[in-house]
Chains A and B, each alone.
Chain A
Amino acid sequence: MAYSHYILVCGGTACESSSSKAILENLKKEAKALGVENEVQIVQTGCFGFCEKGPIVKVLPEDSFYVNVTPDDAHEIIAEQIVKGREVPRLLYDKNKKKNEEVSDIPFYKKQVRIVLRNCGVINPESIEEYIARDGYMALEKALFEMTQEQIIDEIKKAGLRGRGGAGFPTGMKWEAGYKAAGDIKYVVCNADEGDPGAYMNRSTIEGDPHSILEAMTICGKTIGSHMGFIYIRAEYPLAVHRLEKAIKQSHEKGLLGKNILGSGFDFDIEIRLGAGAFVCGEETALLRSIEGKRGMPTPKPPFPAQAGLWGKPTIINNVETWANIPIILTKGADWFSKIGDADSKGTKVFALTGKIENSGLVEVPMGTTLREIIFEIGGGIKNGKKFKGVQTGGPSGGIISDKELDVPIDYGALIRMGSMMGSGGMIVMDEDDCVVDIAKFYMEFCVDESCGKCSPCRIGTRQMYTILDQISRGNGTMQDLQKLEDIGNAMKACSLCALGQSAPNPTLSTLKKFRDEYLAHVQDKKCPSGKCKHLLTFFITEKCIGCGACARQCPANCISGEKKTRHVIDQSKCLKCGACERTCHFHAIEKR
């Protein structure tokens, strides 16, 4: 008996934490209770990318896109749609959805091109059969039986794929170096140590489509002549680890990993290594040391890992997203791939859109899409109608891009020219309420914590820059401090051992350049224009005060005084700037200045 309906329930971490598991169970229970369990297949899929409105449930073939679903809605979905064939308009994303309108018409999806996320939200990530059905392991067939090692390298070079981990090194060249490196023992490594605050596209890719990573690594193994691969993934990603483990097991059962793959005589195996959450272990040389069981600290390059990596053997290490691109390049061809994107960068990029944005979530767009399209068309603009201030790309390694640069097409080169970088693809949107000094300080504090301490420019530089930024946010900054920030930052960029130290000054330096007036306001006028730096704020009671005394009772420092029914006063010397009085006052009589 074939199914008349398919219900896809998002099983990404974001949706799972808002009870998508219970939804899945309830749907199955309801289907059974109403006697339609043979008519509907209920599938748990990977992330749909529209995390803002999660949990997401999609019903096919009607293409009903339900958002903010609760476990209690399961009954209605089954009873209405499966039994009676009527959609549940209350839950639809687009309440005015016309009949036959496709999900791809939702503005959030309209501009997206899903290559890396091609299977996310479509297949059940825990089923190897469904991956195979979507042309999975077809690229591996080609690589094992039809193409030579040189042909594979040529194809990837021709496709113009660049490393998606941030730096954008051409993948084909890296593989060629690994192929040419001498030695009978070589390794393949997947970097899934995603650590940028606010970035989660690697996690979602693995959760939604783990087999694409395994397939790509096996292809690389065949290409460079390696028989062992490692996936280095954070222990903080339990669901992704679980799905990878399951996928590896299934691949073994099907003979797609292990000895004599598909009868080709080629052996390849993959093991998982869990990272303990050190940010620096996302840097490739530090990551390799960590796999070796040593302390995760970077080593100088050259030698590059492709020459001497894991245990001194030639090693190809790529980011999750780079791997996810490989199978589809081989199945669809380099010509198809290189048509997507712009002159500088080919293909697509997945961004994790977060911060003060209406539709936060995972977004995959062709290279060369402008920030304006991503933020205002796909992202739906700034939350609560506030004004856009800037967007931080690349996490602690990237810079802040201001509103003047919104129309620049995004690719590797353009981001570097704007003083930022692609990074892994985190995109944090800021509005007028965010203070750039505060943000620069936040990222610098992150780098102080995460600096491994091996080289002094990074270890001492991050600490010094943080101290200066902290002084500025307290109103103790001087004009020389701004100069010092630039000097230390530039020295760190030039002298640090690895990318962590080289890019740590980026948020500070880019804001110093683009939002200098805000720094000047902090240093010269001792004011924080967005009211974030609390040491520069003065709380002030205006004439609107009716003298109810509510604020005085809330004040933890007991510094508000005044007679009943007369205007109260704040003793500024004792005020902690906690803002409790402002939140308490019903009459909006307390102002921040």
Chain B
Amino acid sequence: MTLEELRKLRGQMKTEVEKRNTEGKTIQIIVGMGTCGIASGAKETLNAFLKEIEEKGLADHVMLRQTGCMGLCANEPTVEVIVPDMPKVIYGNVNAKVAKEIIEKHIIGKQLLDKLIIDRPAADIMSK
């Protein structure tokens, strides 16, 4: 192996291992994967996000997490997106197409997709 090959290999492997690292990742995408979410296709949504993150080379900054039911079962699959300096929002009815849109507009373009935002549950329910 030559020096160039080593550097190339490091570059390739870095993104691969970086995905495991949670440090330094400021953007979070949290997919609701309760029974309701999975039944409405959260798995495809999650896969779509994974694909988009990889294609757009966002793995260094974006952390993709899963969580349980967010309590908004009527609008599953739900996805929470946390970007620094932007309001935390929950999107409803996120299918693979919407996932792509979230990545392009919200994560890269820093624009909220206002038509898809669902209000957070009332504060008194949240604090419980």
Q: Which residues of A contact B (CB under 8 A)?
A: 1-4, 6, 8, 60-63, 83-86, 99-100, 102, 122-123, 129-130, 132-138, 141, 145, 254-256, 262-264
Contact = CB atoms under 8 A, between A and B. Distances in A.
A344 to B, nearest CB: 30
A84 B43 CA distance: 9
Contact of B9 (A1, A6, A84, A132): A132
B17 A133 contact: yes
B22 A2 contact: no
Given A83-B38, A134-B17, A137-B10, 6 more contacts: A60-B20, A86-B34, A99-B67, A133-B13, A135-B10, A141-B7
Nearest to B55: A2
Nearest to A131: B13
B26 interface: no
B76 to A, nearest CB: 13
Interface in B16-57: 16-20, 22, 31, 33-35, 38, 46-47, 50-51, 53-54
Contact of B54 (A2, A6, A102, A264): A2
A479 B12 CA distance: 71
B3 interface: yes
B92 to A, nearest CB: 17
Given A133-B16, A254-B1, A62 B6 contact: no
Interface of B: 1-3, 6-7, 9-10, 13-14, 16-20, 22, 31, 33-35, 38, 46-47, 50-51, 53-54, 63-68
A61 B9 CA distance: 24
Contacts of A60: 20, 22
A255 B1 contact: yes
B68 A2 contact: no
Contact of B3 (A4, A85, A132, A145): A145
A2 B50 contact: yes
A89 to B, nearest CB: 11
A262 B14 contact: no
The dominant DSSP class at the B interface is helix
Contacts of B53: 2
B22 A102 contact: yes
The dominant DSSP class at the A interface is loop
Given A2-B54, A61-B64, A99-B67, A129 B13 contact: yes
B63 A61 contact: yes
A84 B50 contact: no
Contacts of A262: 1-3, 6
Nearest to B49: A4
B66 A4 contact: yes
28 contacts: A1-B50, A2-B50, A3-B19, A4-B64, A4-B66, A61-B22, A61-B63, A63-B22, A84-B34, A84-B68, A86-B33, A86-B34, A86-B68, A99-B67, A122-B20, A129-B9, A130-B17, A132-B10, A132-B13, A133-B10, A133-B13, A133-B16, A135-B10, A136-B10, A137-B10, A138-B10, A263-B3, A264-B3
A263 B9 CA distance: 16
Nearest to A137: B6
B88 to A, nearest CB: 12
A4 B46 contact: yes
B9 A62 contact: no
Contacts of B67: 85, 99
Contacts of A123: 17
Given A254-B1, A255-B1, A132 B6 contact: yes
A253 B33 CA distance: 43
A85 B68 contact: yes
A61 B34 contact: no
A6 B20 contact: yes
Contacts of B50: 1-4
B3 A61 contact: no
Contacts of A130: 13, 17
B25 to A, nearest CB: 9
A21 to B, nearest CB: 22
**Complex A-B, nearest 6 residue pairs according to Cβ-Cβ distance, in ascending order:** A85-B33, A85-B66, A133-B13, A255-B1, A133-B17, A2-B50
